[in-house]
Amino acid sequence: MDSQNIYILGIESSCDDTAAAVMHNGRVLSNVVAGQSVHEAYGGVVPELASRAHQQNIVPVVHEALKRANIDKSQLSAIAFTRGPGLMGSLLVGTSFAKSMALGLDIPLIDVNHMQAHILAHFIDEEGFNKPPFPFLAMTISGGHTQIVRVNDHFNMEIIGETIDDAVGEAYDKSGKLLGLGYPAGPEIDKRAKLGNPKAFIFSKPKVDGLNFSFSGLKTGILYFIQEQTKKDPDFVEINRNDICASIQHTIIEILMDKLKLASKQTGIKHIAIGGGVSANSGIRSALKEAESKYGWTTYIPKFEFTTDNAAMIAIVGHLKFLQNDFAPTDVAATSRLRL
């Protein structure tokens, strides 16, 4: 095989996005994501519907990724797929598809940890984006996770803090539900937050020791606050929606930044990266930018299309593992609770 020309097909199916990407020597040639609108009506992901939609989407999505990359599948060097963590039924679709395709093409199969991929997305070759030097801190903030990770090397990572209950994305999505917003509510709260007053309402921040997070209390606090206010004025949410969104966002960003500051102080590391769906948030992005001059940090914010679930991040892990000849055995199994 020509080691100068590594073509990796990445496949992601851990939750409710079916995604495929083709990468050439660490550069993205195509990055295709098919979302699943079927869950909107339920205000959250319905696992059975997700795996069914993955089954329908996976062939056309992979086909489209190869087409946009303008390569033939016979040129592929290896196939990388998300092994976990995620929803079992969803992971199984990507895993079995990747296995049979690799077997059919007689090329290596590479298993990828989804959370590692959110972090290693920073190593995609992309103009205008620098790769963080080791060690750096990565805060992964998504619908399923909230972690601060000390990254010593590509494949040497230590979780130094994480949520003890809800993930930050859940805090966004559940608050959005209380405000009558669609699912997922994160992007909508972010949009409305820009139009509202972040100091309009005060929500109390959780008191959790060390570098761990908690978001379930915030959600309950918001619920009681809305119930109380609507008793006094049934139109309260309607009238104040943007201010409520801005205040929630302000509180969440303070919680995240407080822990990041503590992590940087404790470890002495000033190279700080974020990843995961919530790193698309405009508030957290500007808070990080401000922290550069305030605390002397160098920050790494992923390109927008690599924040929410995508297969380019799976392909870059595939590329890095390919360089180390780190391949999966043919009996590799999807693992819904895979740890970093």
For binding to ligand KG4 (CB under 6 A), which residues are involved?
Answer: 15, 142-144, 169, 172-173, 184-187, 190, 276-278, 280-281, 308-309
Q: How far is the CB of 114 from Zn ion (least distance, A)?
A: 6
Given the complex with ligand KG4, which of 36 and 77 has the nearer CB atom? 36
Residue 163 is a binding residue for Zn ion (CB under 5 A):
no
Q: How far is the CB of 16 from ligand KG4 (least distance, A)?
A: 8
Among ligand KG4, Zn ion, none, the one that 173 touches (CB under a kind-dependent 5 to 8 A) is ligand KG4
Angle of CA points 146, 151, 156, to nearest 5°: 110
Q: How far is the CB of 338 from ligand KG4 (least distance, A)?
A: 13
Given the complex with ligand KG4, which of 85 and 108 has the nearer CB atom? 85
Residue 170 is a binding residue for Zn ion (CB under 5 A):
no
Token pair of 96 as six digits: 């079995």
Among Zn ion, ligand KG4, none, the one that 45 touches (CB under a kind-dependent 5 to 8 A) is none
Among ligand KG4, Zn ion, none, the one that 278 touches (CB under a kind-dependent 5 to 8 A) is ligand KG4
Given the complex with ligand KG4, which of 46 and 105 has the nearer CB atom? 46
Q: How far is the CB of 143 from Zn ion (least distance, A)?
A: 7
In the list 142, 146, 249, 264, the residue contacting Zn ion (rule: CB under 5 A) is: 142
Residue 95 is a binding residue for Zn ion (CB under 5 A):
no
Token pair of 23 as six digits: 């990468």
Q: How far is the CB of 142 from ligand KG4 (least distance, A)?
A: 3
Which residues in this chain contact Zn ion in the complex, by CB under 5 A?
A: 142, 309
